[in-house]
Amino acid sequence: MKWLAVLVFFVLFAVPSVLAAVNFNQTITPQEEAAFDGILAPVMKIYRFVQYSATVIGVLMFVFAGINFVTAGAEVTKKERAKHMAVGVIMGLILIWIAPLVVRYIFQ
């Protein structure tokens, strides 16, 4: 229960006070933009690696779910488990591939 109080305090007081101190209408200089791009480049390489690795793992999990579904026969629980796995994989892949587009849309 204490963690809930800490979370509520953080969301209600800490986050707005930090965001209030930031001026979002301020323009940045080309040097600051170059420095930001220099910092962002390795982060994006790591993100792309994680994105493609998760996609490969997701496709393998989707194939595994399909095999489980086909080989389940008349066992309803195995078929349901395979369906849930496939839906989870699809939702995860959509989330991984849509997240950068959403962030780009919000910040532009």
Kindly report the pTM of this predicted structure: 0.65
Instruction: Decide if pLDDT at 63 tops 70.
Output: yes
Pairs from 99-106 (Cβ < 8 Å, separation ≥ 24): 100/47
Q: How long, in residues, is the chain?
A: 108
- The beta strands (E) that lie in 17-94 are given as none
Q: Mean pLDDT, to the nearest integer, of 42-53?
A: 92
Over the stretch 72-98, which tens digit does the pLDDT of each residue have? 988 999 999 999 999 999 999 999 999
CB-neighbour burial class of residue 76 (10 A; exposed 0-12, middle 13-18, buried 19+): exposed
Question: Whole-angstrom Cα distance, residue 68 to residue 54?
Answer: 20
